[in-house]
Amino acid sequence: MASPEDTPVGRRLRLVKHIIIVCSGKGGVGKSSVSTQLALSLRSSSPTARVGILDVDLTGPSIPRMLGLDGHPVHQSSDGWVPVYADGSEARLACMSVGFLLKRKEDSVVWRGPKKNAMIRQFLSDVRWGELDYLVIDTPPGTSDEHLSLVEHMAPVHSRISAVIVTTPQAVALLDAMKCLSFTRATSIPLLGLIENMSGYVCPCCGEISNVFSTGGGEEMARREGLRFLGSLPVDTELVSLLDATEPDDQEANVMLAEGGSRHSFRLLERYEKTSTAPLFRAIVEKAMTALPALEGRE
């Protein structure tokens, strides 16, 4: 009999050391922004780190926009789909999203479960990720088809999967985060920890901190459930604008496309490291990474 690793997905992800799923239960709490920051921080964690980011939010892909890769096409090679490299020729930050496959950005992907399932399987088995230290997977809200498909298809590499839960502090979001936690427990995916996002907003005018979406709820939940609390992130308008970046004008875009997007993306990382969130996030990543080796020993 074939070994359990011997499925197309298992073979393709053989050279991926760690797979980190970012999930939240509730929408709009910052999964994609956390995934993007996680990928950027992991990439700069060592000069040779190779990171992949896979966006399985099929009906609302945001990762291309956040990495400034809107409108890039995906190329097919004899060895599968070539991911889009956010850092151009350095090729240490690979990205794949259904957003790259849409002809127009306003096209909606109206798919039921089985088609989403097939797309996810293809993303996992047909993308030429190559050797990766980390594969960050951004998920849609909820605990449904996409999540079940991910877990199912990645069964051969289950021992390398871990998850990060993102929440905002208000009760409505925590409720959904609990559901997400139940999901990781039901599927026995170990949790690296919990991140509380949008915790407080600093008024640019007077410096007063407002708790726009309340505060402390995530930390409280982590304590109650015995989870590692990775840290809280305030609302950072600078970061919002950076990840939301307006499209470069056409001429610049053409140059960028010709150069494989390198110019723009370097700028993204440089500019990201200047935001006030970057150091906070670095601490979060360090904390999350201390949890990784502990997972190494398990089956």
Backbone phi and psi for residue 224, each to the nearest 5 degrees, phi listed first: -65, -40
Site for another protein in 73-132 (CB under 8 A): 98, 101-102, 105-118, 121
Residue 148 makes contact with another protein by CB under 8 A: yes
The closest of 20, 55, 24, 60 to 41, measured between CA atoms, is 20
Ranges within 198-217 binding another protein (CB under 8 A): 201, 203-206, 208, 210-214
Q: Are strands 93-97 and 51-55 parallel, antiparallel or unpaired?
A: parallel
User: Is 30 labelled as part of a ligand binding site?
Assistant: yes
**What's the min distance (Å) between Cβ of 86 and another protein?**
16
Determine whether the annotation assigns residue 180 to a binding site.
no
Decide: is 253 part of the binding site for another protein (CB under 8 A).
no
How far, in Å, CA of 168 to CA of 277, rounded? 16
Q: Are 82 and 128 in contact (CB under 8 A)?
A: yes
| CB closer to another protein out of 133 and 145 | 145
188 near another protein (CB under 8 A): no
Count the Cβ atoms, other than its own, within 10 Å of residue 135.
27
| 17 annotated as belonging to a binding site for a ligand | no
Segment 38 to 77, residues that bind another protein, using CB under 8 A: 57-60, 62, 65-66
Find out whether 60 is annotated in a ligand binding site. Answer: no
Q: Least distance from C-beta 229 to another protein, angstroms? A: 18
At 282, which helix (H) or strand (E)?
A: helix 277-296
Tell me whether residue 231 is annotated as binding. Answer: no
Q: How many residues in total does the chain contain?
A: 299
Query: Could you give the CA distance from residue 293 to residue 204 in angstroms, rounded to a whole number?
Result: 40
Considering only the stretches 14-22, 45-53, 165-173, 285-293, report the one whose residues sit in contact with another protein under the rule CB under 8 A: 165-173
| Binding-site positions for [4Fe-4S] cluster | 203, 206
